[in-house]
Structures are given as C-alpha cells and as structure tokens.
C-alpha cells in the first residue's frame, strides 16, 4: 500500500499542522512540543479534564476526539509509538481546569508507563490525576487475564461517556467511576485483511496473502487467533459476534450500542453488509440496539479490516452516550 | 567517590558510546520490535549533554535533569524506564554533592525497583530489570571503585548471555516469544553498553 | 485488495439493507425495486424534490446524501453501473412533493440516458423535471469541451447548495438555477495510487505498479493525464492545485470552499498533509477558505487516492453552503 | 404484414437467441467495457417474454410493453437505447394492429433518430446507430417481406465489418479508442444477432 507523504520524519507533524489548519474551530496545538492537541476553546473552569494519547495513525483516535463532550487534550506520538511522558504531562496541564484530570487511554505497555510518569511530573503542578484503561480486545487475552487485553475501538465509547459526565459537571471521582463502568462494559474484536505501512518502516507491518484474513488481529498488526482463507461476510460477522457474546453475553431486554468500525481501507459498503448480521444477532438475542455507529472511528491508517465493539448499557451509560458531543469527526445531539 | 565532575565525565562517554552503538542497538531492537532503541538512547543522551554546562552540583538535582532529558525526548519504553531509574537514584542522593562506590549497589537496586514498579514486569522476564538485578547483586558489599565497576560490567555481560535462550515476556518482543528464544534482549544489551561506557571501559 | 462480501450478486442489495438498518431515522427503501432510497420522512409538501443516482461503490455518494437540506431520493445501480430508468423514475416519484423535481447528478453517458428516459416515464405522472449535470473533473476534457467532463466530487457541493435552496422553499426554476450556478463554479481533479475491485469483476479494475501513481484518473479507473513514479505529497498537491487554478483562477478577495477528498483507502492523516498545501496556495492567492471539507465524501470503494474540489462562492452560494443539512454522513448547522 | 402473432413469434426467437448469444456478447463487451451486453439483452427479453400472454393486439401498446421490460431490467446503455428505439416504433404504430414490410425502413429510421436523440452520439461513431442507419437505407423502397428481411440482415452484417477498423467514440469503449480499432463494436454485433433472430435467420 502506497502512502502520500513528504518524508516519514515529518509525517506526524505535517498531519497535525493540516488537522488544526482544517479545523481551527475544534483543535489547537498546545505547548511547544507540537504533539499536544487541545480544544480550541478550553472547557469551563471547574470542569474535570479528560486526556488521552498514544501513537499516531489511528485517526479519529485519539486527536480527533478532542472536543465538547469528549476529550480536552491529547498527546500524540509518532506512528504507533507512544508520545513522551513530558508531552503527556503537557496534555494533562492543557486539560486541567482545576478539577483534576482523568487519563483515559488504551492498554499498551509504553503508553501506560508514560502516562504514569506524566502523572508523577504533574504532581509538581498539583494536578490530581486518575486513570481508566481500556482493555476491550477480547482476542488479545483470555477472560481470566482481562487486564492484559489491548485497548482498541472501545475507547470511542469511553471518551463519549466520560466526556459527557465531565461536561455535565460531575467531579473527578464520579467521572472516573463512570468511565471505568464504560470500560468494564465494552468488548471489541477485530479482523484484518491487509496490513498498513508505518511511514518510517516503509514496508507493510505484516505480510498476508491475497486470499487470506486474520481473526483477532490487533491494530498495530499484533497476531490474532487464526489466519486462514478469506471468508464470506456473514461468516466473518458471525464469528466476531460469537466471540463478543461469549465474553459478554447479551440477552432479552438488554440495551446495547454497537460500533461496526473500519480499520481504514475497508469501505462503508462492506460495513453495511456486516451490520445486517450484527443487528440480526443482537435483536435475535432479544436485545435492543441503541445509537449504532457504523464507520471509521478507530483505524490503522490504510489497513483493510473491521472491528466490532459492543457496549452494554444501563440507564446511566445510555444517558451519557446520547448526550451531545461535537468534534470534527463525530457529533451527537 | 562520584561527584559532579565524575558525572560529567560519564555523561560525555555515554553520549559518545550511544551515538556509536545506535545502529547496532536499532538493529537488534528491530528484529523483534520497532528498532528505535539506539535512537532513544542517542537522542536522550544528546539532550543530557546539552544541559551539561548548567549541571548542578547537587547530584540529586543533576540526575533529575538527566531523567527529564529522557522524558522529553522519548516515548519509548526504554527511555521512560531509564528516566525512571535515574529519578530513583536522584531521589536517593538528593541534597548530596557526592556518593561512594559502596553505595552503588543500593542505588542500582533502587533504580531496579522503581523501574519494576513503573513497567510492572517480573524479575526473570528477560528485560533490563534482570541486568540491573544482576549488577546490584554483584556489587553488593564492594567498596573499591574499580572493583565495583568491574563487577557491574561483568554482571551485565553475563546476564545478557544467561537470558539469551529465554523467551521475551514483555513489550513488543513478547509477540515474537518463540523467535526471541535465540536472541539477546535489546534492553539488556543496551544496559551492558551503558555500564561499559559509564565505567570507562568502552 | 480484498473485499468483505457474501456473493457479488448480493453486494448492493445487502449494502443497502445494512444502510437503512443502521440509519432508519435517515433512510428508507422506496418501491419494490430495492434500489431506490428516500428520506425516512418525506420533505414538506410543496418542496421542490431533488434526486440523484448512479452506480454503487461511491459512498457517501449518492445514497448517503439523502437527507434534510440535501437530496430527497436516489436510484442506485450495481457497482459502477447506472440504475435502470424505471428505478430513476421511481426515485423521482418518491422525491416529488408537487413542486417538481431537479435531477442532479454526474455526467456519465449511461446515467444521462437513463435520467432522460426516466423523465419521459414520469411525464405520465405529470411530474415536471429539470436537470443539472455535474461535469467538474478538469482532467477529463479540455476547457473548450467542458460539457464532456465527468462529474466527480463536485456533486457534494451541488447537493448541498440545491438542497438548501429547496429546503428554503425556492421553486423548481430557482433551485435549478442555483444548482447550475454551483455546477458552473466547481472544479475537481483526482489522483489515484491504487485500483479498487468491482465485486462482479473480482480483480482490480486497473493495474498500477507499487511505486506509481496516476494524475487525473477518474473514479471508475478512467485513464488520467499521466502515470509515473509516486511523488511527494507537496508535489502532488501542488500539481493538483495548478490544474484547478489554471481552469478556474482564484484571486485576491475571492471566497472559496475546498474539498480534500479520499477516494477510499487513503487515510485522513494523508489528507491533512495535503491540506497544508491547499490552504497555503489558496490563501497565498489572496482567497479566503470557507468551510473546508477534509474526509471521505465521494469514493471508489477501497481505491487509494485523493481528489481536490474547489467551489468559488458568491454571497448566494455561501449562504446556501452554510445552511443546515443532516444525513448519516454529513451535518452542517 | 406484421401483427401480434408475428411479434410473438419474433419475441420467442429473439429471447432464445439472446440467451444463446449472451456469453459471446458479454465477452466482446468485456474487452472494452463492463461485459454486460449479453446480460442486458437476456434479462430484457426474459421480461418481455413474461408479458407475452397479455400482449395487446395494438402493436403500439405491445411494443411499449416490450420497451418497459427493458427500462425495468437494465440501466446499461444498450438496454436504454433499445427501449428508446422500441418506444419510437411503438409511437409510430400506435392504434394499429398490423403494419407492412414496406414501412419497416421508416420505422428503423424512427428508432435510429430517437436513439440518437437519447444517446447524443453522432452517426459514423461506430455504434448501434450505424447499424440501424445502414438497415434503414438498405430496406428503403422495398416491400417484399423476405427482401426486406434479407436486406436488413445483410446491412447489419456489413456495417459491423465496415466499422471494424474505426476507433470507438462513445461509451466506456471510447477510453480504449486505440485498442478498439481492431475490434467489432459490441452494440453493432448485437444488432446483427437481433435482426437475424427477428427475421428468423438465426
Ligand atoms: N515493562 C517493561 N519492564 C522492564 N523492561 C522493559 C519493559 N518493556 C520493555 N523493557 C525493556 O526495554 C527494551 C525495549 O525497549 P524499547 O525499544 O524502548 O521498547 P519499545 O520501542 O517497544 O517501546 C526491552 O528489550 C526490555 O529490556
Ligand atoms: N451514446 C450512445 N449512442 C449510441 N450507441 C451507444 C451509445 N452508448 C453505447 N452505445 C452502444 O451500446 C454498446 C454498449 O452497450 P452497453 O454494454 O450496454 O454499454 P454500458 O454497459 O457501458 O452501459 C456500444 O457498443 C454501442 O454500440
Ligand atoms: Mg523499540
Ligand atoms: Mg519504541
Ligand atoms: Mg456494457
Ligand atoms: Mg453496463
């Protein structure tokens, strides 16, 4: 897969320049590292701040979700590489409106170390920080080791729910609690058809034959649970739903939201073909689907493939999910 | 006795060594991961060197600055762990303008523990922690500077080989656990090069 | 490039089933051909109807833009194939609220014949129809033969502007006039890096080497103006801007909107890198950019590549561009 | 004399012929375009056949139904052009239950003109219009049914060959103008097969 870029070394900086140039009403660069994006208009004084961050190459994750009812700031690293802890500390400082800051991000070793370190750094600024980790990828570890799972598209729901709680004026503990509740109620699984190319590497991250797919693959190309011939859409969707529902059963009267997500190159046409099965399975189990999301919400640049994310709702989560939000990539209400 | 002058000397040697070793470290890291280990160390040490002129005599403050150079320039695991270790040592010697060779073992152990807390990895998992652990143990009870230096170097070198056949258990390399079984751990090898440079044997 | 589907023959029907299942608040299937999508809630009685249509495989074009302030109905063919004139006639009937219907679509031979034929068919229903064709692809014919040019992403602007005029209560002649004005003020150019695969064909539409790109290529793989080694992003963007501005100069004080569009696989990261150049060129010429659009607005499934579309505004067009609209893929206001 | 019975006979033969010729027509269309010409004609004629039982005696009404079968089943250029031609003939014979062989030339010309208006192509552009033009000219002034049939067939066949070396100027094939220079136009070839079937010579 070819890429449109100038030099790999400038990829992320130029990408961020273009992003803030296109949407000055939503985003601004904060500080002088060029790797921290904050809301164009800072949140209300006294609002709990929410930061996220991680490697580049996943738009709209992470940076795209900086906006009202969502994140306050983000630190962005090179493609698939953690930002530095100083950049994360800067994002925390940008997000702080005096009520403390929730660090809400995906469970990747480097990001965890750096966000922890960033917390140590902002202790000097007297900013209170909490942490909620997304670990929603059911293919990445057994249920007994849930805390080892990778964080993938489930982040989108967590950003939305925590962001709504913060916007509603809840305090840091309350926002943290509801973010954790969302993180506990979300499950994802992905399947990849092709690799993306990290600009610095210049070649596909992994090789996969023209007639193969991999089930359970991670968004950086982490190995999945099987690799085999490409299957029909309904079989792929069926197995992905099996895996999600085995991990988090959904039954009569349950209310769930579902995200059918393209990892990048896979076009919406194919997502709709898959969504038929997702809907039939959930409604067949007696559940109601609330605010389904179908599109590109968490990607690996031009990787072909999809992920499904299931969020089981209670009244509180549903209210927060439906609350307004606004950024260049997603708007509710 | 380790003081500001000794620190500045070590910084100079380490920065030069990392620049020299960068390609080799990138390559070994690239076999199982993202191939940035040499870059991480080179960039970090360049930033440390830039702060050398105003390096405080208080070794705690000085080492904190060194740590910050790494937190600024790198988001890679090794950079953050290295900064974490430096911060632990900084904390331990805060307010002092020198320390003795006999304290080195304890300081290495402090770094090891802080880095373990940061990275949440087990000892024995074929990581830089195992190098530090071996070094702390080998230098325990020693007080002659040359002996301490020699013991640390030997321990670091032996640890790399002792863990060679083990599978990687943390970080990106864990994905390639089987492949990693014949390979030296990049972070352990880097620590060997670091000790060699710091102790003036590289 | 691999595709997620069941059988090629069911691709479009299943895609449309999934689309209306995901967004019942926006879309419904009209009639029994299964290839006509209309607004879930029909427009006001007395509102001018706007229909579009053409082959599948370009989402959000065409179907996605059915919604308030945009289209009333669409007829969708197989991938890259015109719908039948009966289906177009059905779409016109669905769109009609008694005030006549504007046919607003891209200049492709088959679509033109069928929409003309559809007009003949709905004469029996006493529905008055007008036509505005988009022919915005500057690479597809010389300025002297502008009417032969293909219609590409410029449609998005035309839908928006005509849709806003219709929503505002303008009559058929007025809506047609302003749609034509938009069609005359819009220019596009594309560049492709890889082909997509038509499901029925099962292999890429065209072959292009791993280090090549093609300038001016059409969204169905129609040949462009040159094929050569892949160039740096800034060079690609520069040449595309050269081509647009040569065809429609933009100068001091002009107000323009610009669409930096992914043809499918190209991720937003790369669009932002390109947008830097687009912005610099337009602002360098003394123009102001109004409501830039950066994203996937008109695609060829999983084709890698981009298109730029420039719309020169006057006060009337700017007002209509900024008016509210709402569909599953685009919302303004 | 052409009446309802003759029409039904022609429909049966044409439907069978299109089914038989579909692979060949798809293939020749596929070389320069989307390869659907055989499908277009087969589907259209199947739909026409389904309406045969209730086919009105009024040939205008009957041919309008045939046209509608094509507007329903196909969005491809050829289907729409074919429907356009049928509608033009339908208009010309509206209200009549039969017409004579001597009228055929004028009816073909009417179809040609309507199709030209619809498709906005020039005569001489290597399309089905050129087949129709040749057929209209070759049958002009003739009134013996067998003679008319023979002249139409010959004209269609000759037109395909006469235009063979020309570049395509319309539709998808225009993109491949150079490549098309050695190839017969799919729409012209299809028209030959149509006339052959309709006149009972296929
Ligand atoms: N959680 C951890 N705990 C201890 N050591 C670790 C940890 N993660 C990585 N390492 C060490 O760091 C080395 C890799 O560092 P680095 O290349 O910076 O990783 P990455 O580029 O994947 O972030 C490994 O060889 C190992 O020694
Ligand atoms: N505008 C036109 N005018 C006249 N004939 C046309 C026109 N466009 C196509 N044709 C005829 O139709 C044939 C192709 O038909 P078809 O396969 O249905 O086209 P497509 O699949 O590209 O819509 C051509 O060989 C030509 O004879
Ligand atoms: Mg590394
Ligand atoms: Mg790294
Ligand atoms: Mg064809
Ligand atoms: Mg066709």
What fold does the segment set D2-198 form as a domain?
A: 1.25.40
What is the phi-psi region of residue A286: left when phi exceeds 0, alpha when psi lies from -120 to 50, beta otherwise? left
Q: How far is CA C123 from CA B88, C102, C126, C127, C130, in A?
A: 84, 14, 5, 6, 12
- Torsion (CA) C216, C218, C219, C220 in degrees, nearest 10: -140
Shortest Cα–Cα distance, B112 to chain A (Å): 15
In this prediction, residue D201 carries a pLDDT of 82
Nearest C-alpha to atom 22 of ligand 1 is from which residue?
B172
At residue B93 the predicted structure's pLDDT band, cuts being 50, 70 and 90, is very high
Catalytic residue, from A30, A35, A39, A58: name it: A58
- Minimum-distance ligand 2 atom for the alpha carbon of D191: 27
Under an 8 A CB cutoff, do A236 and C14 touch? no
Considering only alpha carbons, which residue of chain D is nearest residue C75?
D75
> Is the pLDDT score of C24 beyond 70?
yes
Distance CA A52, CA A31 (A): 16
Q: pLDDT tens track of chain A, all 333 residues?
A: 689 999 999 999 999 999 999 999 999 999 999 999 999 999 999 999 999 999 999 999 999 999 999 999 999 999 999 999 999 999 999 999 999 999 999 999 999 999 999 999 999 899 999 999 999 999 999 999 999 999 999 999 999 999 999 999 999 999 999 999 999 999 999 999 999 999 988 889 889 999 999 999 999 988 899 999 999 999 999 999 999 999 999 999 999 999 999 999 999 999 999 999 999 999 999 999 999 999 999 999 999 999 999 999 999 999 999 999 999 999 999
DSSP state string for C36-88: EEEESSPPPTTPPEEEEEEEES-TTTTGGGBSBTSBSEEEEEEETSPPPHHHH
* Tokens matching residue C52: 């579009």
Annotation says A58 is catalytic: yes
Domains of chain C, earliest start first: 13-184+322-332 (3.40.50.10440), 186-314 (3.30.1180.20)
Q: Which residue carries 């959904």 as its tokens? A: A250
Which residues, including other chains, have CB under 8 Å from residue A170's CB and lie 6 or more apart? Answer: A48, A178
The percent of residues in chain C predicted with pLDDT above 70, rounded, is 100
Q: Do C21 and A296 touch (CB under 8 A)?
A: no
Residue with tokens 């339908």: D90
CA distances from C268 to A77, C236, C243, D7 (A): 16, 16, 23, 59
Active-site residue, selected from the candidate residues A47, A220, A243, A312: A220
Burial class (CB in 10 A: 0-12, 13-18, 19+), C333: exposed
The residue whose two tokens read 């569009």 is C261
| Cross-strand bridge partners of residue C226 | C215
Whether A198 has its CB under 8 Å from any CB of chain C: the answer is no
Rounded Cα–Cα distance for residues C96 and C128 (Å): 9
Most B CBs within 10 Å, among A110, A111, A216, to test the B interface? A110
CA distance C106 to A279: 34
pLDDT score recorded for residue D32: 82
pLDDT surpassing 70 at residue C209: yes
The CA B78 to ligand 1 mean position distance, Å, reads: 5
Count, residues in chain D? 202
- Minimal Cβ distance to B118: which of A81, A113, A223: A113
What is the C-alpha to C-alpha distance for residues D51 and D65, in angstroms, rounded to an integer? 8
Task: Answer yes or no: do C18 and A272 touch at CB < 8 A.
Answer: yes
CB pairs under 8 A between A and C: 159
Distance CA C214, CA C229 (A): 9
Helix (H, G, I), strand (E, B) or coil at A288: strand
Q: Cα separation of A135 and A154, whole Å? A: 8
Please give the C-alpha separations between residue B96 and each of B1, B9, B83, B109, B114, in angstroms, as whole numbers: 12, 18, 19, 19, 20
Categorize the per-residue pLDDT at C221 as very low, low, confident or very high, splitting at 50, 70 and 90. Answer: confident
Q: What is the Cα–Cα distance from D108 to D132, expressed in whole angstroms?
A: 6
Picking from C19, C228, C273, C276 by the largest number of A CB atoms within 10 A of its own CB, the best residue to mutate is: C273
- pLDDT tens for each residue of B174-197: 777 778 888 999 999 999 999 999
Per 3-state DSSP, chain B is made up of helix, strand and coil in percentages (nearest 5) of: 70, 0, 25
Residues in chain C closer than 8 A to D80 (CB atoms): 84-85, 110, 113-114, 117
> With 80 as the cut, is the pLDDT of residue C63 above it?
yes
Q: Are B135 and B178 in contact (CB under 8 A)?
A: no
Mean pLDDT of C285-298: 98
Q: Which of B38, B81, B171 most suits a substitution to test ligand 1, by most atoms within 8 Å of the C-beta?
A: B171
Query: Rounded to 5 degrees, what are φ and ψ at C264?
Result: 155, -80
C-alpha–C-alpha distance, residues B129 and B119, integer Å: 10
Extract the tokens encoding D85: 């031609």
Please identify which residue in the block is written with the tokens 């520069």: C238
The whole-model pTM stands at: 0.96
Query: Strand A27-29's sheet: what is its strand order?
Result: A27-29, A36-39, A73-79, A49-56, A101-106, A129-134
Residues 6+ apart with CB under 8 A from C147: C107, C133, C135
Position A124 scores a pLDDT of: 87
Q: Which DSSP state fits A273?
A: H
Q: What pLDDT, in 10s, does the model give residues B14-73?
A: 999 999 999 999 999 988 888 899 999 999 999 999 999 899 999 999 999 999 999 999
Give the C-alpha separation, D202 to D200, whole Å: 6
Contacting residues of B for A139, CB less than 8 Å apart: none
Determine phi and psi for A184, rounding to 5 degrees. -75, -20
A57: chain C residues, CB-CB within 8 Å: 267, 269
For chain B, give the percent of residues with pLDDT over 90.
Answer: 88
Question: Where residue D48 falls among pLDDT bands split at 50, 70, 90?
Answer: very high
Nearest CA in chain A to C8: A232
CA-CA distance, C112 to C103, in Å (whole number)?
10
Share of chain D above pLDDT 90, in %: 88
ipTM of the complex: 0.94
C325–chain A nearest CA distance, Å: 13
Query: What's the start-to-end Cα distance of chain D, in Å?
Result: 21
* Spans of all domains in chain D: 2-198
With an 8 Å CB cutoff and a minimum of 3 pairs, decide whether chains B and A touch: yes
Tens of pLDDT, residue by residue over C94-116, are: 999 999 999 999 999 999 999 99
CA-based nearest residue to D76, from D112, D30, D24: D30
Question: Is B12 buried (19+), middle (13-18) or exposed (0-12) by CB count in 10 A?
Answer: middle
């Amino acid at each position: 897969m070819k890429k449109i870029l100038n030099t790999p070394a400038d990829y992320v900086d130029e990408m961020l320049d273009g992003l803030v140039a296109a949407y000055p009403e939503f985003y601004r660069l904060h500080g002088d590292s060029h790797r921290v994006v904050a809301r164009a208009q800072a949140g209300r004084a006294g609002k709990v701040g929410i930061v996220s961050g991680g490697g580049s190459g996943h738009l709209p994750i992470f940076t795209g979700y900086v906006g009202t009812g969502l994140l306050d700031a983000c630190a962005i690293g090179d493609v698939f590489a953690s930002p530095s802890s100083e950049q994360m500390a800067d994002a925390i400082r940008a997000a702080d409106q005096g009520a403390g800051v929730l660090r809400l991000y995906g469970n990747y070793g480097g990001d965890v170390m750096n966000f922890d370190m960033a917390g140590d750094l902002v202790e000097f600024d007297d900013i209170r920080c909490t942490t909620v980790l997304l670990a929603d990828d059911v293919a990445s570890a057994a249920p007994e080791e849930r805390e080892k799972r990778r964080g993938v598209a489930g982040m989108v729901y967590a950003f939305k729910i925590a962001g709504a709680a913060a916007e509603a004026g809840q305090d840091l503990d309350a926002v943290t609690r509801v973010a954790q509740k969302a993180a506990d109620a979300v499950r994802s699984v992905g399947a990849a058809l092709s690799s993306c190319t990290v600009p610095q590497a210049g070649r596909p991250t992994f090789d996969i034959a023209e007639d193969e797919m991999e089930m359970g693959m991670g968004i950086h190309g982490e190995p999945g649970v099987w690799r085999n011939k490409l299957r029909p859409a309904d079989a792929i969707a069926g197995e992905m739903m099996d895996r999600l529902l085995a991990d988090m059963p959904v039954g009569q009267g349950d209310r769930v939201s579902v995200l059918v997500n393209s990892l990048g190159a896979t076009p919406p046409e194919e997502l709709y073909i898959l969504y038929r099965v997702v809907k039939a399975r959930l409604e067949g189990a007696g559940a109601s689907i609330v605010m389904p999301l179908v599109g590109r919400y968490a990607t690996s640049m031009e990787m072909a493939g999809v992920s499904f994310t299931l969020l089981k709702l209670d009244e509180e989560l549903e209210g927060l999910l439906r609350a307004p939000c606004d950024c260049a990539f997603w708007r509710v209400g | 006795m380790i003081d500001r002058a000794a620190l500045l000397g070590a910084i100079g040697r380490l920065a030069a060594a990392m620049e020299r070793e960068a390609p080799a470290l990138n390559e070994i890291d690239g076999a199982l991961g993202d191939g940035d280990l040499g870059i991480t160390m080179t960039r970090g040490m360049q930033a440390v060197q830039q702060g050398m002129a105003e390096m405080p005599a208080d070794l705690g403050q000085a080492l904190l600055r060194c740590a910050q150079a790494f937190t600024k320039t790198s988001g890679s695991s090794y950079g953050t762990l290295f900064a974490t270790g430096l911060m632990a040592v900084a904390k331990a010697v805060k307010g002092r303008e020198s320390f003795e060779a006999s304290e080195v073992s304890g300081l290495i152990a402090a770094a090891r523990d802080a880095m373990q807390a940061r990275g949440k990895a087990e000892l024995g998992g074929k990581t830089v922690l195992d190098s530090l652990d071996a070094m702390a143990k080998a230098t325990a009870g020693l007080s002659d500077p040359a002996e301490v230096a020699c013991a640390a170097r030997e321990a670091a070198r032996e640890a790399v080989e002792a863990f060679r056949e083990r599978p990687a258990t943390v970080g990106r390399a864990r994905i390639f656990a089987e492949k990693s079984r014949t390979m030296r751990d990049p972070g352990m090898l880097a620590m060997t090069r670091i000790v060699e440079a710091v102790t003036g044997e590289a």
